[in-house]
Amino acid sequence: MKRVSVLFISILILLGMLAGCSGSAGGPQEESSGDSSAQKGKITLNFWTFWGSETRRPVIEKIINDFNQSQDDIYVKHTFLPFGDIWTKNLAAISAGNPPDVIINDINSVQHRAKNNQSTNLSEYIKDDSFKDNFYPRLWDTVLYKNEPYAVPFNTDTRLLFYNKKAFKEAGLDPNKPPKTWDELEAYAKKLDKKSGDRYERIGFYPLWGSFGPPSWLMNADNGKGFLSKDNEVQINTPEKLEGLKWLKSWNDRIGAENVNAFKAEFGSEQSNPFIAGKVGMWVDVATFYTQIRDFGKDMDFGVAPMPAKTSDARHWSDGGGFVAEIPKGAKHPKESFEFIKYLTGEQAQTYWASKNFDNVANKKASEDALSKLSGNDKMVYKEAVDNLQVTTMNPVPADAPDYQNKINPLIDAVLLGKEKPENALKKAQSKVEQSLKK
Amino acid sequence: METAYESTKKRKQAAQKDIAEPVKKYRIKSLRKREELSGFLFISPWLIGFVALTLGPLLFSLYVSFTNYNITSKMDFVGTQNYHNMFFNDGLFWTSLWNTLYFVAFSVPLTTAGAILLAVLLNQKIPGIKVFRTIYYLPAVLSGVAVYLLWMQLLSPSTGLVNTALSWFGIRGPAWLFDPEWTKPALIVMKMWSVGGGMLLYLASLQGVSKAMYEAADIDGASAFRKFFHITLPMITPVIFFDIVTSLIGGFQIFQEAYVMTENGDGGPVNSLLFYNLHMWNKAFEVFDMGYASAMAWFLFVIVLGLTVINLKFGKHWVHYGGGDEK
């Protein structure tokens, strides 16, 4: 009798455990963006984005709602996943054979995912050859792997020079003449510096704050050429890039690494952005940085300009990233998914997105249409951003050496800290990256 | 000579024995078996969990370390190529290993000594000691990311509390998390903050040290210093040993700190905070090179296993277990 009850209890416990396991599978935070009764008899598509902020979420959900209302067969369900989780969750879902139907993913690594069988080849669904003409050619290029599209570009960004007009006036500079060349930039920056004793109260400009890192500056220096050419030719150790690196280092020498670090450590939350707080005179950032100025810098008098060029006859090269819509490998309804992607990247949805977020959208026509819906500062910033796309380069990561930048960054860090000669650093970086691409 | 009868009898006896024995054995076995069975059933939730969720993936990753597995598209056997690349083609591997060893070599002795010192101080009989104990233990309760963000502010070069405090003594503090020479020391200092957890263990064992020994030492006229080194320390060596073994293993697993406290989690200035696990994580989830990452994981396992075995071996010579059984 005793034995039986022992057995019975242990089985009971076991069953309880198993039941507990199956019941508590915590899924991502889901939120349907419409009436659930409306989805009966329709194909439901799971759409994953990381747009959960107060500014973006309503915009994307309105776009989804519009799509759902126009549809008889497809119902799109939006799932928000935090930016830090979305790629790994997607990867896990793909390998488990249960991925979302459409996901917003990074534009520069499309080829890498295509090569690794993580996304669906879209050429089968794009029947119309002119489809690609809807988008900026540079963006379309990034979604091609072996000449076939694996994603559709959704939005992009571009770096601009924001400058504080009030500080310009104070320093005796013309607030309507932003610096056009590196030399002007440096001269203006010196005038904008404000010191009390040894300490800086305001730093006119420091090239590596904001969102234009060393790779971007060296691209700007080298006539728009990034570290890798389109055919993955390594072009790191060039005379132009060497000059650029020396120039970057010269800022550290002039301002002092300690001052740079001290200032940098204070950049934390958006409210204390040093440009908005008036502690830095000029600042490079993406166009949507404007929404921070608008929200946190009360009536700040600022201007926006293209990136300064290395010399007066060079172009104002800037760089950009962005996001694409793609269908993860193994998604159940690729045809319907593409139908939704077409809407998402179509004129109507893209115009709405652009005019609400001041974001550069990938659809050419929408990008221009949105301009007419804006006014004032909104229009000024947005127009600069759209114009700037002409000189914006993309730097997709090569499918064979996706982490090639990890080999370059520490060497550049070492140069900026005075621990390595610029010549040696570029030479080493060149050979290291060549080696990793050969493998 | 044996008669036929006798031999038959013997055979019969032998046969009976043969039969009788198994019957007896069968009874015992079946009882034991049934007990075993219910034993296994009782621990089956753990067993199933361990086999399915730990052992399985563990062995899988061992196999994966010999392939070019990337989760989604390929899994070809490549022999020891991952290990070969690790040792000969990946400079960052050695950087990350060095950073991790540096961290372990300083943080483990310092936190152990710190915890003991704190425990001895908090073992005094003075009024309000419980309040102090609570205060010193508190940081150990706070966890993870929030603490790192707090320390990023404390270590801020010009306005951080640490450098402000240093400036009262005329010391100009370093740029901590921005200067590659100081990033690892900064993290080690940060770790010292949470010695409260270890302190609690030491405090418990300090209170278990018999008063009689101190009394005997007092009668012999031993100084406080001698009493500490000849009574207190030897008596708490089992806990010191436990603390060193576990914090050594924990030290090698350092990851979150660097991931949270460096820009984009990329390993800080000049890769000075690129720890072993951070490099592994980047390989696994940034470039999907699971085969390589698994090889790294198994190499780390070998290192930690080796150090733990050495620890256990040498432990015999300095760890004193009260209650005899000494060899």
Chain B CB contacts of A11 below 8 Å: 41
Is B41's CB within 8 Å of A118's CB? no
Please report the pLDDT score of residue B74 as a whole number.
81
Q: Which domain holds residue B140?
A: 90-318
Interface of A with B (CB under 8 A): 3, 6-7, 10-11, 13-14, 17, 87-88, 91, 94-95, 112, 115-118, 257-258, 261-266, 268, 329, 402-403, 406-407, 409-410, 413-414, 417, 419, 432, 435, 439
Query: Does residue A358 contact residue A381 with C-beta atoms inside 8 Å?
Result: yes
Query: Does residue A114 contact residue A96 with C-beta atoms inside 8 Å?
Result: no
Asked if the model's pLDDT at residue A141 lies above 60, the reply is yes
pLDDT band at B19 (very low <50, low <70, confident <90, very high): low
In a domain, A4, yes or no: no
Average the pLDDT over A264-271 and give the result.
63
- Map residue A226 onto helix, strand or coil: coil
Asked if the model's pLDDT at residue A235 lies above 80, the reply is yes
Asked if the model's pLDDT at residue A67 lies above 60, the reply is yes
Asked if the model's pLDDT at residue A339 lies above 50, the reply is yes
Residues A152 and A166 in one domain: no
Residues B94 and B55 in one domain: no
DSSP string, A386-407: HHHGGGEEE-PPPTT-TTTHHH
In a domain, B6, yes or no: yes
Residues B150 and B275 in one domain: yes
Residues A165 and A303 in one domain: yes
In a domain, A407, yes or no: no
Average the pLDDT over A222-235 and give the result.
90
Average the pLDDT over A380-401 and give the result.
89
- Quote the number of domains for chain A: 2
In a domain, B295, yes or no: yes
Asked if the model's pLDDT at residue B67 lies above 50, the reply is yes
Please report the pLDDT score of residue A39 as a whole number.
60
Residue of B nearest to A413 (CA): B270
Domain of B168, CATH number, reads: 1.10.3720.10
Residues A188 and A291 in one domain: yes
Query: Rounded to whole angstroms, how far apart are CA atoms A275 and A209?
Result: 10
Between strands A102-106 and A43-49, the pairing is parallel
Residues A277 and A342 in one domain: no
In a domain, A17, yes or no: no
Is A261's CB within 8 Å of B157's CB? yes
Put simply, whether B167 touches A (Cβ < 8 Å) is no
Average the pLDDT over A207-224 and give the result.
93
Residues A251 and A211 in one domain: yes
Asked if the model's pLDDT at residue B113 lies above 50, the reply is yes
- Map residue A34 onto helix, strand or coil: coil
Please report the pLDDT score of residue B268 as a whole number.
82
- The residues in B 147-166 lying below 8 A from A, measured between CB atoms, are 153, 156-160
Residues B46 and B163 in one domain: no
Residue of B nearest to A419 (CA): B270
Please report the pLDDT score of residue B215 as a whole number.
92
Residues A189 and A151 in one domain: no
Q: Which of B30, B64, B98 finishes a domain? A: B64
Chain B CB contacts of A17 below 8 Å: 45, 48
pLDDT band at A177 (very low <50, low <70, confident <90, very high): very high
pLDDT band at B28 (very low <50, low <70, confident <90, very high): low
Cβ count within 10 A of residue B156: 24
Residues B118 and B176 in one domain: yes
Best mutation target among B85, B88, B164, B178 (most A Cβ atoms within 10 Å) is B178
Please report the pLDDT score of residue B261 as a whole number.
87
In a domain, A353, yes or no: yes
Residues A167 and A41 in one domain: no
Asked if the model's pLDDT at residue A277 lies above 50, the reply is yes
pLDDT tens track for B232-249: 999 999 999 999 999 999
Residues B238 and B308 in one domain: yes
Please report the pLDDT score of residue A333 as a whole number.
94
ipTM, 2 dp = 0.74
In a domain, A8, yes or no: no
Residues A272 and A211 in one domain: yes
Residues A124 and A177 in one domain: no
Average the pLDDT over B207-229 and give the result.
90
Please report the pLDDT score of residue B262 as a whole number.
84
In a domain, A433, yes or no: no
Residues B141 and B264 in one domain: yes
Query: Does residue A326 contact residue A151 with C-beta atoms inside 8 Å?
Result: yes
Domain of A97, CATH number, reads: 3.40.190.10
Query: Rounded to whole angstroms, how far apart are CA atoms A118 and A87?
Result: 11
- Cβ contacts below 8 Å, chain A against chain B, sum to 95
Asked if the model's pLDDT at residue A269 lies above 80, the reply is no
Chain A CB contacts of B92 below 8 Å: 406-407
Q: Which of A268, A290, A316 finishes a domain? A: A316
Angstrom CA distances, B277 to A342, A389, B177, stand at 41, 39, 19
Of B38, B89, B286, the CB nearest to A7: B38
Of A11, A88, A257, the CB nearest to B41: A11
Residues B47 and B195 in one domain: no
Residues B167 and B294 in one domain: yes
Asked if the model's pLDDT at residue A16 lies above 70, the reply is no
Of B41, B72, B160, the CB nearest to A95: B72
In a domain, A29, yes or no: no
- Residue whose structure tokens are 């060899």: B327
Q: Which of B16, B48, B64 finishes a domain? A: B64
pLDDT tens track for A81-122: 998 889 889 998 998 899 999 999 999 999 989 998 999 999
In a domain, B52, yes or no: yes
Asked if the model's pLDDT at residue B156 lies above 50, the reply is yes
Is A410's CB within 8 Å of B270's CB? yes
Which secondary structure element, helix H or strand E, spans residue A153, and what is its range? strand A152-156
Please report the pLDDT score of residue A273 as a whole number.
84
Query: Rounded to whole angstroms, how far apart are CA atoms B252 and B280?
Result: 12
Which secondary structure element, helix H or strand E, spans residue B216, and what is its range? helix B211-219
Top pLDDT among A1 and A290 is at A290
Chain B CB contacts of A256 below 8 Å: none
Please report the pLDDT score of residue A22 as a whole number.
43
Asked if the model's pLDDT at residue A3 lies above 70, the reply is no
Please report the pLDDT score of residue A34 as a whole number.
46
Residues A164 and A211 in one domain: yes
pLDDT tens track for B93-111: 999 999 999 999 999 999 9
Average the pLDDT over A164-185 and give the result.
95
Residues B118 and B246 in one domain: yes
- With a CB cutoff of 8 Å and minimum separation 6, the contacts of A117 are A329, B72, B73, B74
Gap between the terminal Cα atoms of chain A? 68
Is A262's CB within 8 Å of B89's CB? no
Mean pLDDT score across all residues of chain B: 87
Best mutation target among A21, A105, A116 (most B Cβ atoms within 10 Å) is A116
Residues A390 and A295 in one domain: no
Residue of A nearest to B95 (CA): A410
In a domain, B83, yes or no: no
- With a CB cutoff of 8 Å and minimum separation 6, the contacts of A263 are A200, A203, A206, A209, A274, A279, A280, B158
Q: Which of A285, A316, A347 finishes a domain? A: A316
In a domain, B78, yes or no: no
Query: Does residue A55 contact residue A88 with C-beta atoms inside 8 Å?
Result: no
- With a CB cutoff of 8 Å and minimum separation 6, the contacts of A215 are A226, A227, A395, A405, A408
Residue of B nearest to A263 (CA): B158
Is A261's CB within 8 Å of B89's CB? no
Residues B146 and B244 in one domain: yes
In a domain, B76, yes or no: no
Please report the pLDDT score of residue B143 as a whole number.
73
Put simply, whether B89 touches A (Cβ < 8 Å) is yes
In a domain, B77, yes or no: no
Please report the pLDDT score of residue B273 as a whole number.
93
Query: Rounded to whole angstroms, how far apart are CA atoms A176 and A163?
Result: 10
Please report the pLDDT score of residue B269 as a whole number.
84
pLDDT band at A33 (very low <50, low <70, confident <90, very high): very low
Query: Does residue A103 contact residue A90 with C-beta atoms inside 8 Å?
Result: yes
In a domain, B139, yes or no: yes
Query: Does residue A152 contact residue A183 with C-beta atoms inside 8 Å?
Result: no
pLDDT band at A74 (very low <50, low <70, confident <90, very high): very high
Of A3, A14, A263, the CB nearest to B45: A14
- Quote the number of domains for chain B: 2
Residues B45 and B109 in one domain: no
Q: Which of B14, B46, B64 finishes a domain? A: B64
pLDDT tens track for B289-314: 899 999 999 999 999 999 999 999 99
Is B160's CB within 8 Å of A88's CB? no
Is A91's CB within 8 Å of B285's CB? yes
pLDDT band at A8 (very low <50, low <70, confident <90, very high): low
In a domain, A196, yes or no: yes
Q: Which domain holds residue A75?
A: 36-156+321-394
Q: Which of A316, A349, A367 finishes a domain? A: A316
Tell me phi and psi for residue A130, to 5 degrees: -85, -5
- The residues in B 276-295 lying below 8 A from A, measured between CB atoms, are 282-283, 285-288
Query: Rounded to whole angstroms, how far apart are CA atoms B277 and B300?
Result: 9
Mean pLDDT score across all residues of chain A: 87
Of B45, B70, B175, the CB nearest to A258: B175
Asked if the model's pLDDT at residue A296 lies above 90, the reply is no
- The residues in B 46-85 lying below 8 A from A, measured between CB atoms, are 48, 70-74
Residues A271 and A302 in one domain: yes
Residues B185 and B121 in one domain: yes
Chain A CB contacts of B91 below 8 Å: 407, 432
